[in-house]
Structure formats: structure tokens, C-alpha cells
Structure 1
Amino acid sequence: MLALLSPLAAQAQGAAAAPNDDPSYRKEFVYGLNFNTRGGLIGGLSVRSSRVLNEKWSRYWSIEGVEVKHPKERRLPSYNGGSFVRDKANYMFVLRPTVGVQRVIFRKAPESGVQVNGLFGAGPSIGLLMPYYVYYDYTDRNSQGQATGPDDIRAEAYDPQKHSNINLIFDRAPLFSGINEVKPYVGAHVRGALSFEYGRYRDAVAGIETGFLLELYAKRPSIIRSLNVDDNTINNRFYPSVYLTIYLGSRS
């Protein structure tokens, strides 16, 4: 009897010791902070929802909101202690809905370790151009630069012809001064990335996602404008970037 039971017991122990590749969750929702080579200190925010298809593959949708800056933007101090970005004509904010797939490259142990995933996605890019407003000093002055009348400082959308004397730019105006003049620009993007997930518990996840993004617009958005220079020669339709997103989320 012992001789018959011994092989069965050994087989049962082997099955218990074998790793279970089937994930213990079916949905994942994460939100994160984006940093990219086209943005400022903080690029923007993103959310992603994933549904598990099998032990290796998931499909996901995400949406990301970022600000895109021109590489030639340069912040200068103004004469009164404020600051402005030289030649900046528009802010460019972009919404990027994405659908894609995710594949597990290396699955972590149930309670520890790091899981490595590969992601690929694509979708439309909705660029929103909002005029960049500055305070410009129209005060009458004599040849010595002394005011000969009351202060006359106006908030206006930056125009390189109208505001050619940057020494008279008093400061930048509040961010949403031109919100009623927003113009949409439509494009498309693709992205590829690796994510490194750490989740000590089954229903929680944290990690980073790093990858590249290629974005192309049907029309050329004018982020900067310069005096006597054609907008098309200093602005682009194609915006490649490298990004990193730090995220937290939950699973169910």
C-alpha cells in the first residue's frame, strides 16, 4: 500500500510546488504622473484600464492629458521682475486616447518581486491650441524712458509684429486668459513601452512605465512665432518623445 501511495504523494507535492501562471485578477485600473521630453517639469496625467485575456495577454484603453512645448521655448525675465516665454504664441495641450495590448514578459511571484510587461498602443491625438497672453506696456514715455502719463498695461495675445519690443513685455498673463479662443488640431499617435510593476498585495499595484511616443498632426500647430519668420519653418507636425509614467492602481 505504501509503495502505491508514494508516487501519488510525490506527484501531488510536485503540482503544489509548480508556479501558477494564471493571474488572480481580471481587471486593472491605474492612474499616473507623466514626465516626457516634450513637456515641462511635469508632463501631465494619465489613466489606464486593462482587462486580462489570458496568462500572457491583456488589452487596455488609456487616456493621457499633457502639455507639449516647443524645444526652442526660452523663459526670460521681464523688467518688473516677472517672466515670459520669448516667441511663444500658443500653449498646446493634448488629449491622447489609446487602445492597445499588453504582454507579460516576466511574471513576479505572488507576494513579491517585479513584473515586466511590454505594451503597444495607438489612437488619435487631439491638440488644443490656446493663445499665450502677455501684459504689454503701452505707457507714454519720454526719450529718457520716464512715464509722461498714467500706466497703460494691457493683456493681449502675443503677436511678434505688435509686441516686437520685448523690453516692454511686463509679464505673462494668467494661464487661461485665452481659453475662449482655443483651436483644435487633430492627429494620431503610436506608443511602445515597458512597465515594471510591483504589487505586494493581490488587489494593489504600483510601478513605472517607460517608452517612446510618435505623434503626427494633419496641420502644423503654431506653438512659437517669430518676427519675419514663416511659422511653418519653426513649427513641426511630427512630435516624437520619450516618456516615463509613475503609477498606482488597483486590481479586481
Structure 2
Amino acid sequence: MKNINLRLICLAFSLSLSVLATAQQTLSLGQNNYQSRKGVVYNKEVAFNFKPHTNGLAAGLQFGNIRAYNRTSYWGLEIGEIKHVRETRQNKSNQIAALEGAFRGFVYGKQNNFYALRATFGEKRYLSEKARRKGLALGLDYSAGASLGILKPYYLLLRFVPEDFNRNFRSERYSIENESRFLDINSIYGADGFSKGLGQSSFMPGGHAKVALHFDWGAFDEFIKAFEVGIMADFYFKKVPIMIETEAAPNVQNQPLFLNLFLNVQLGKRS
């Protein structure tokens, strides 16, 4: 009887070791597959970016390839406006508005609207293994690319000149010839509409780069819910003429480099 019990104990012990070894091997294989699989559960992602920054606003689309559980490479396109730090929007006084009618607010001393079309290539990396599970995952996002700057002339509605008897104002862009009237606050009614000057736009090549902290709720959920905070730089090969540089405003200078802090909100889907 003792021999039978000993045999049963040895058999049970052997079976236990066998099951334990199999389980460990399966777990190990599963972990290796998990860590080496590209994309883990998903392979692609598409996200909409909404990016307010220090001196402007941008929006665009981002297309990502999920390389591993902690690394995603992407490319994207976005367009946004960059404003000069000295831009201040103002309106005519209430008394003048009541007498002359309501007009759009305007930026005194501005000669061009400036927009940036950016082609971006970058990567985001999650900094901890919490990215594997649901919850807030922390990562680092960095990118760079080429930019196309778009200068659109800024038009103001100015009080008529003596030889113009058909209307009380007319739309004009800045020039050396009309500088005195363009900068005369008493001659300005307001800004013209957005479409005015689109056909006279000019272009400036440049580049951009950014680095940001990336916060993602459920880094591998189907739906993307993330935001970023960081710093971005736009640079061009010459000064961007947004404002009028004149002796009347000695501290106003245009620059070829724009540094901005930004907040980026991302919504999208993985597949």
C-alpha cells in the first residue's frame, strides 16, 4: 500500500511539474509574442488634431503605423494661422459705429495674414508599460517636416479719398503710397472679409519641429482620446512680413522664427 501511495505521489508531483512547465512556457511565449508583435491589437490609426497655440491655431489629420506596443510612427498634414505677437484686434468706438454702421474688428498696423501648411513626420513613444493596459499612458511625441507659408494681403475698409464720390469707403491693402492713410486710425472703418486678397497670396518655404508630452486614455483602445502639451517652432528663410515696420511703431519687428507653446487635442480611431 505504501508503495502504491508513493507511486501516486510521485505521479502527481510529476504531472504538477509538467503542467507548471507548460504554463510557464506558454506565458513566456505569449509575452514574447506580445512584445515583438507589431501593432499588438491594432496596426493603423487615424486621428484629427486640434491645436491652439500661443499665437494662433492649427488643425489637421495624422496617419499612424503602430510598430510595437510602445512605439507609433506617423505622418500628417495640418494648416493653421500664425499671428504676430504684437497683433491686437480692435473696433471703432461705439459712437462712430452708431453713426457709420457696424464693421468688422481690425488689427492696426497689419499688412498680411500668415498661414502655415505643414507636412509632418514623427514618432511617439510610450514611457511605461502602462501603455499595455487601459488607463492614462504617458509618452513622448516628436516630429519635424517641411512647411509652406502663405501670405494673404490684409485689406482694410478706408474712408474715401476726395476724388471718390461713389461710396464712403473702399477696400485697400497696404502699400508705400497709401501708408499715411492705412495707418491713420481715423480713416479706418474696419477689416474687409476673409476672401479679399486670396487671389493675391504669395508663398514662403520653410520648416517646423515640435516636441511634446503625450497623454493617452487607453493607448490601445479602438477610439483615440489623447492630448499633448509641448513646444513647436516654425522657421522660414527670411522675415515674414505680417506687420508694417515703420518709425511710427519702432518696437514692431517681423521675424523668420516663431516659437509657440501648444495644446493638441486628438480624437480618432485605430484599426
TM-score by length of 1: 0.84
Q: Give the superposition deviation at 1:164.
A: 2.8
Report the counterpart of residue 216 of structure 2 in structure 1: 197
The residue number in structure 1 matching 2:168 is: 152
Q: How many percent identity over aligned positions?
A: 26
Tell me which residue corresponds to 1:143: none
Of Structure 1 and Structure 2, the greater helix share is in 2
1:185-224 maps to which residues of 2 (within 5 A)?
185-199=204-218, 202-224=221-243
Distance 2:248 2:145 in 1: 33
Q: Distance in 2 between matches of 1:60 and 1:167?
A: 51
8 Å CA contact 2:69–2:132 kept in 1: the answer is no
Which amino acid in the other structure matches residue 155 of structure 1? S
Asked if structure 1 preserves the Cα contact closer than 8 Å seen for 2:47 and 2:267, the reply is yes
Partners of 1:7 and 1:109 in 2: how far apart?
34
Deviations 1:31-89 (A, max 9, x none): 121110121xxx12121111122333322101121100000011121232532111111
CA distance in 2, matches of 1:134, 1:167: 12
Matched, 1:27 2:11: no
- Shifted more, 99-108 versus 114-123: the winner is 99-108
Aligned to 2:79: 65
Partner of 1:94: 116
Following superposition, the deviation at residue 119 of structure 1 comes to 1.6
| Kept in 1: contact 2:84–2:242 (CA 8 A) | yes
Distance 1:31 1:186 in 2: 25
Work out the CA distance in 2 between the residues paired with 1:26 and 1:67: 33
State the 4+ residue runs in structure 1 displaced beyond 3 angstroms: 7-11, 13-22, 107-111, 158-162, 199-202, 226-233
**Gaps (5+ residues) in structure 2?**
1-10
Q: Deviations over 1:102-140 (max 9, x none)?
A: 222124366620122212211111110001111111165
CA distance, structure 1, for counterparts of residue 250 and residue 115 of structure 2? 19
Aligned pair in 2 of structure 1 residues 191, 3: CA closer, same or farther (>3 Å)?
same
Checking the alignment, whether the CA contact within 8 Å between 1:137 and 1:154 is kept in structure 2 is: yes
> How far off is 1:221 after superposition?
1.1
Instruction: Give CA deviations for 1:162-185 in whole Å, capped at 9, x if unaligned.
Output: 423111211110012000110101
What is the identity, as a one-letter code, of the residue corresponding to 1:6? S
Deviation larger for 43-52 or 172-181: 43-52
Q: Does 2:122 match 1:84? A: no
The answer for the alignment partner of 1:105 in structure 2 is: 127
In the alignment, the residues of structure 2 paired with residue 77 and residue 62 of structure 1 have an alpha-carbon distance, to the nearest angstrom, of: 37
Q: Which residue of 2 aligns with 1:38?
A: 55
Work out whether residues 119 and 193 of structure 1, in 8 Å CA contact, stay in contact via their aligned partners in 2. yes
CA distance in 1, matches of 2:219, 2:259: 35
Matched to 1:203, the amino acid is E
1:3 aligns with 2:20: no
Partner of 2:5: none
What TM-score does the superposition give when structure 2 sets the normalisation length? 0.79
Please name the residue that 1:242 is paired with: 261
Q: Specify the SS of the correspondent of 2:146.
A: strand
Pairs aligned (count) = 241
Is the radius of gyration larger for structure 1 or structure 2? 2
Q: CA RMSD in A?
A: 2.7
The structure 2 residue matched to 1:168, chosen from 169, 175, 187, is 187
The answer on 1:75 being equivalent to 2:92 is: no
Measure, in 2, the Cα distance between the counterparts of 1:222 and 1:201.
Answer: 44
| 1:127 equivalent among 132, 145, 149 | 149
Kept after mapping to 1: 8 A contact 2:55/2:84 = yes
Whether the aligned pair in 2 keeps the contact of 1:66 and 1:94 (CA below 8 Å) is yes
C-alpha deviation, 1:198, in angstroms: 1.3
